[in-house]
Amino acid sequence: MINCPDSAISPKIKCAICHSVIKNRHQIYQTRLSLGVICKECRKRFSIEDIEMITNMFLAYGGYFGQFKDENLSIDNLIIKFATQINLGKETLTSTNLKMWHEVLTHGISPREFLKALNDYI
Ligand SMILES: [Zn+2]
């Protein structure tokens, strides 16, 4: 069929951070370095530096912000888990740091929330 309706030929645009469908294309934010576009809510929720870090993280390791939000993982448990791994010396600090941020973000915890909790913990 040659004449397709527009909705059939134009794919839905999803936010590169939270995967919500962006309905209003005028509310798209284009990141500087990655190919993804960001929804208005994520643009408000995260700093420019966080957006670059988060989009690169999900591009490299997959997943999206809040993917496992329903698992109800506490920030305290995450901090203890990664502090234990670092203390055991099983992995490098860089490797643990990447895994920690990926887990934090896929559980729907923003960098600001996590850093505040980490600061309170220390
Ligand atoms: Zn979003």
Over residues 82-103, the pLDDT tens digits come to 888 888 877 788 888 899 999 9
Distance CA 116, CA 90 (A): 26
In the chain, what are the domain boundaries? 66-122
4 — pLDDT class (breaks 50, 70, 90) = very low
27-50 pLDDT per residue, tens: 677 776 666 789 999 999 999 899
Q: What is the pTM of this model?
A: 0.79
Q: How far is the CA of 94 from the centre of ligand 1 (A)?
A: 27
Q: How far is the CA of 1 from the centre of ligand 1 (A)?
A: 34
Tell me the HSE value of 53 on the side-chain side, using a 13 A CA sphere: 14
Q: Are 119 and 74 in contact (CB under 8 A)?
A: no
Q: How far is the CA of 42 from the centre of ligand 1 (A)?
A: 4
Q: How far is the CA of 34 from the centre of ligand 1 (A)?
A: 15
